[in-house]
Amino acid sequence: MNKDYYDILGVNKGASKDEIKKAFYKLAHKYHPDKKEGDEAKFKKVNEAYQVLSDDGKRSKYDQYGSGFENVGQGYGGEQQGGFGGFDFSGFQNGNADYDFGNLNDIFSDFFGGGMGGVRKEQKRGRDISTEIQISFSDSIFGINRKVLITKTSNCLTCHGSGAKTGSKMETCKHCNGQGQIRESKRTIFGNISNTKICETCAGIGEIPKEICETCRGKGVLRREEEVSIIIPAGIRNGEMIRMTGYGEAVSKGTTGDLYVKINVTPHAVFKRDGSDLVMNLNLKLSEALLGTEYTIQTLDGEIKVTIPEGVSINEILRVRGKGVPVSKNKRGDLLIKLNIKLPFQKISVAIF
Ligand SMILES: [Zn+2]
Ligand SMILES: [Zn+2]
């Protein structure tokens, strides 16, 4: 089934994107099924042609292989989403000012959601919130579970977000007469388009509780202090952000936002971080460097004994394996001990003759 998309849009093969867009607008307007002399079959064809020719990648494949280059029927054909599955809105959203058809986004989302069978469901979402916490260097290396109190809009604990008084009966929503949807008719460039929206009063359920929850006054959400447990992973760095999905602000009959936690790490007096290694300085006397010695070092894991071999040189680094930053469950970086060798203070004697 090789279709000539150029023919359908009435443009020639070398047509510019602009010409294609213009031709499509004109034909879409003409054939839109909500118009008196509309023609749904033709409208679909025009739409299909535009989807391909407006996309550089698809267009070049089409030019090469014809309309069989992809399973065109897949995203198309009128069966899914009540009529215009696969409709490409992108051309409209960044459509330029040359074509003043009013609010195209609005019109096309109306097609998509409302008039063609489905109902546009605009899910409300609560605000994202952020907080900062200060942790010790050691906690940043090994990870920790911290609990913080955050005052935010949260689900009501009494009604668990339903807004209904416990045991309340439900009654038909008066706003939508129990339909859960509200139909409205709109005049557009394509003629009158009827649109169906979710009822905001009952959130599409068609029923509302007879008696509302007293704690939240039926809203299902309220501002309160909530304890949030934050799992800080091992090896986190100063300034890193943890995103906690669904721990932001709740919203009445919608999705909860996210919580962002910024981690501030207090620097350590002895250890510094270098990738997955920990670095520390150890001051040695010259005699210790020459003869070798043993040192007890307080690491983040507790005390360890380190043997300084004899004859170490200035700025030599000792590596203690596996005492650094955890990089995976069974793997850790190393502890690097930088040896600073102090040369004995040389007294300058001034001889007076
Ligand atoms: Zn409540
Ligand atoms: Zn309603």
User: Which ligand has the shortest distance to the CA of 201?
Assistant: 2
d(CA 331, CA 314) in angstroms, rounded, equals: 30
Pairing status of strand 129-135 against strand 259-265? parallel
pLDDT tens-digit series, residues 65-97: 776 655 433 333 333 333 333 333 333 333 333
Poorest-confidence range of 97-101, 265-269, 274-278, 324-328?
A: 97-101
Q: Taking each helix axis from N to C terminus, what angle separates 17-31 and 40-53, rounded to the nearest 10 degrees? A: 170
159 CA distance to ligand 1 middle (Å): 4
The ligand minimizing its distance to the Cα of 156 is 1
Closest listed ligand to the CA of 217: 1
Res 195: pLDDT: 80
CA angle 38, 40, 46 (to 5 degrees): 95
Look up residue 94 and give its amino acid.
N
Answer yes or no: is pLDDT of 111 > 50: no
- Whole-number Å distance, alpha carbon 253 to ligand 2 midpoint, is 13
Among 18-22, 111-115, 269-273, the range scoring the smallest mean pLDDT is 111-115
CA of 246 to the centre of ligand 1 (A): 19
HEC secondary structure over 71-94: CHHHHCCCCHHHHCCCCCCHHHHC
SS3 48: helix
The reported pTM is 0.57
- Is 106:184 a contact under the CB 8 Å cutoff? no
Q: How far is the CA of 203 from the centre of ligand 2 (A)?
A: 6
Cβ burial of 75 (10 Å; 0-12, 13-18, 19+) is middle
pLDDT above 90 (res 346): no
Q: What is the mean pLDDT of the segment spanning 317-340?
A: 93
Cα of 252 from ligand 2 centre, angstroms: 14
For the residues of 261-313, what is the DSSP string, one character each?
Answer: EEEEEPPPSS-EEETTEEEEEEEEEHHHHHH-EEEEEEETTEEEEEEE-TTPP
56-65 and 40-53 helices, crossing angle to 10°: 100
Q: Ligand 2 center to residue 167 CA distance, Å?
A: 20
Please tell me the distance between residue 271's alpha carbon and the centre of ligand 2 in angstroms. 62
Taking the C-alpha atoms of residue 28 and residue 195, their distance in angstroms, rounded to an integer, is 19
Distance in Å, CA 155 to ligand 1 centroid: 8
* Contact yes or no for 131/150 (Cβ under 8 A): yes
CA distance 350 to 290: 29
pLDDT of residue 105: 46
Count of C-beta atoms within a 10 Å radius of residue 131: 16
Distance 257 CA to ligand 1 centre (A): 19
At 34 the pLDDT is: 73
Q: What is the pLDDT of residue 117?
A: 42
Percent of the chain whose pLDDT exceeds 70: 81
